[in-house]
Amino acid sequence: MEQIFHNLVIGFSVAATPINLLFALIGCLLGTLIGVLPGIGPVATIAMLLPITFNLSPVGALIMLAGIYYGAQYGGSTTAILVNIPGESSSVVTCLDGYQMARQGRAGPALAVAALGSFFAGCVATVIIAVAAPPLAEVALKFGPSEYFSLMVFGLIAATVLAHGSLIKAIAMVVWGLLFGLVGTDVNSGVLRFTFGVPELSDGIGFVIVAMGMFGTTEIIANLDMKEHREIFTSKVKNLWPTKQDFKDSWGAVLRGTALGSCLGILPGGGALLASFGAYSLEKKVSRHPEKFGKGAIQGVAAPESANNAGAQTSFIPMLTLGIPSNAVMALMIGALMIQGIAPGPQVMNEKPELFWGLIASMWLGNLMLVILNLPLIGMWVKLLTVPYRYLFPSILVFMAIGVYSLSNNPFDVLIMGVFGVLGYICAKLECEPAPMILGFILGPLMEENLRRAMLLSRGDPTVFFTKPISAGFMIGSLILLVIVALPAIRKKREEVFVEE
C-alpha cells in the first residue's frame, strides 16, 4: 500500500509538470474531437501521430496518445446521444437509449451521466492499474520463451473469440497477419524473406502503414460508398444537470459497468468496444424494467459509457506489464515505445518508473480534464457535428499521408498504405475482421522468435508448451476458449450479443 502511494507520488510529480499536462490536454482534446467525429477513430489518429511522437519525450508521447484513446470514449457518446450514430465504435450501444433520451428533451442529463459515469470509471480503472500492474509484472519477469509463446497464442485466440462474426475467418485473419509480419529480414539467419527484391521491404512492412491502410483509408472508402445522410438532433442542449432521480437510477449501472468494463479490458482482445456491449446486456438482464431499455432508460447510457472508459484504460495493463498488445490501439502504443527505443515488457516498470507511473497518473488528470472539456464546452463539440463529411475526408487523408510519408520520406510507404487500403476494403466487404489481423501482424516476429528459442531450449520437443505449468495454463485456456465458442448454445449467445444490439 505504501509502495503504491509512493509510486503514485512519483507519477503525479511527472504527470503534473506543465509540459506533460499540456500533452495530456492535447491528447484529450484530440481524442474528444475524433470521438465526436464519426468516420475517424483512435486507431487511425494514433497511427497518424506516431511519427511525430519521435520528437517528443517518451512520457509526453505516451501521455498524449493514451489521452486520445480514452478521450475518444468521452467524445463518442456525444455523437451517439445527439445524432444517433456512434462517433466511436464503442458507443454503438449508447445510441439506443441515449438518442431516445435526447428525443424526450433529456439530452443534457444523458450527456452528463455519460461524462460523469466515464469519469468515475476512469478513476477506478486508474487505481486498478496502479494496484494490479506491479504484481503482474513481477510474474511476467519469470516468463521464458515457452511461456511467452503460449501467452501470445492465448491472446490471439482470445482476440478472435471476442471478435464478432465467423470464428474461423477471424483465426485465418490472425494467421494472415502473422505471415505479413514475417516480411523482411529474418533475425536469426539474415535471410530476406518475401521482399521480392524490393529494398524498402527488407526492414519489414511498417505497422503504422498497415494500420493506416486497413483502418484509415478503408474507413473513408466505406463511408463514401454509402450515401451520406446525417440527421442532427437540433434541439438545444439545456438542463445539463441530471435530477436526483437520475442519479438514483444510474449509480448502480455505473458501478456494474465499471466493474465489468475493467475485467473485460484486461483480457487480451478486449478493450472499450467489448466492454460497452457486455455492460449493456448485463444492465438489461439485472433491470427490473427491461422493457424501458431502448426507450430512453438512463441506465442504458450510464452502464456502457462507464464500461467503455474503464475497458479503454485497463487494456493498458497487459501492454504495460507483459509488453503484449490486447488490441490495435495498444499495438500502436507498443509502436510508440519502440520508436523511443524502449523495449516493451515487464522490465519497463522497474527501469522506467517515471514513465510507467507518470502515464497512470496522467490518466486520472486526463479524465478530470475530459469532464471539463465535455460538459461545459459541449456546445463547441455539437457545432463540430455540423461539418459535412465532404470537408472531413480530404483533411483526414492529408494528415494520414503526411504521417505515413514522414516515417522515412519514402513514397513506397504510401504505396503500401494504398495496397493495404484496398485489401482492407476487400476484407470489409467479405466480412473478415481487420483487428485480429493487425494483432497477428504485430505479434508475428515476436512469436517466431519465442517459438524458436523455446524449441532450441527443449531440443525440439514441442511438449514443452504443455509441461511447464504457466505455459500449460495458457494453452489449456486457449483450448477451453475455442471449445466454448464452438459449442452451439454459446455460439448462439455470442451472435446475439453482437447482432441484437
Distance from the Cα of residue 366 to its chain's centroid? 17
Q: Which of 21, 127, 182, 446 binds another protein (CB under 8 A)?
A: 182
Interface residue with another protein, options 22, 131, 338, 422 (CB under 8 A): 422
- The binder of another protein chosen from 456, 479, 480, 490 (CB under 8 A): 456
Determine the Cα angle at 30 with ends 25 and 32, to 5°: 95
Assess 489 for contact with another protein (CB under 8 A).
Answer: no
- Residue 255 CB, shortest distance to another protein, in Å, is 36
Region of residue 136 (phi > 0: left; psi between -120 and 50: alpha; otherwise: beta) = alpha
- Is residue 166 close enough to count as binding another protein by CB under 8 A? yes
Furthest C-alpha separation in the chain: 70
In the complex with another protein, which residue's Cβ is closer, 338 or 397? 397
Q: What would the grid cell of residue 269 be?
A: 482482445
Q: CA angle 320-323-324, nearest 5°?
A: 110
Task: Say if residues 183 and 201 touch (Cβ distance below 8 Å).
Answer: yes
Query: Is 485 a residue that touches another protein (CB under 8 A)?
Result: no
Q: Which is nearer to another protein, 10 or 481 (CB)?
A: 481
Phi/psi of residue 342, nearest 5 degrees:
-105, 120
- Please give the grid coordinates belonging to residue 371: 469532464
Q: Can residue 255 be called a binding residue for another protein (CB under 8 A)?
A: no
CA distances from 313 to 25, 32, 377, 447, 461 (A): 17, 15, 23, 26, 39
Residues 371 to 410 in contact with another protein, rule: CB under 8 A:
389-391, 393-395, 397-398, 400-402, 404-406, 409
Q: From the CB of 484, what's the least distance to another protein, in Å?
A: 19
> In this structure, is the dihedral angle defined by the CA atoms of residues 79, 84, 85 and 91, taken in order, positive or negative?
positive
Interface with another protein, residue 320, by CB under 8 A: no
Produce one character per residue of 56-92: b if its CB has 16 or more CB atoms within 10 Å, e if not.
bebbbbbbbbbbbbbbbbbbbbbbbbbbbbbbbbbbb
Window 256-315: residues binding another protein (CB under 8 A): none
Please give the residues from 32 up to 91 whose contact with another protein meets the rule CB under 8 A.
52, 55
b or e along 381-414 (b: 16 or more beta carbons within 10 Å of the residue's beta carbon)? bbebbeeeeeebbeebeeebbebbeebeeeeebb
Q: CB of residue 477 vs another protein: minimum separation in angstroms?
A: 20
CB of 222 to another protein, least distance (A): 8
Q: Report, in Å, the least distance between residue 230 CB and another protein.
A: 13
Candidates 105, 141, 411, 490; binder of another protein (CB under 8 A) is 411
- Which amino acid belongs to residue 435? A
Number of chain positions touching another protein (CB under 8 A): 63
**Binding-residue pattern over the window 462 to 481 for another protein, x denoting contact by CB under 8 A:** x-------------------
Q: Which whole-number Å values give the CA distances from 111 to 35, 260, 400, 441, in the listed order?
A: 14, 21, 31, 37
Q: Which parts of this chain interact with another protein (CB under 8 A)?
A: 52, 55, 166, 168-169, 171-172, 175-176, 178-179, 182, 186, 188-189, 191, 193-194, 217, 220-221, 224-225, 227-228, 389-391, 393-395, 397-398, 400-402, 404-406, 409, 411-415, 417-418, 421-422, 425-426, 429-432, 448, 451-452, 455-456, 459-460, 462
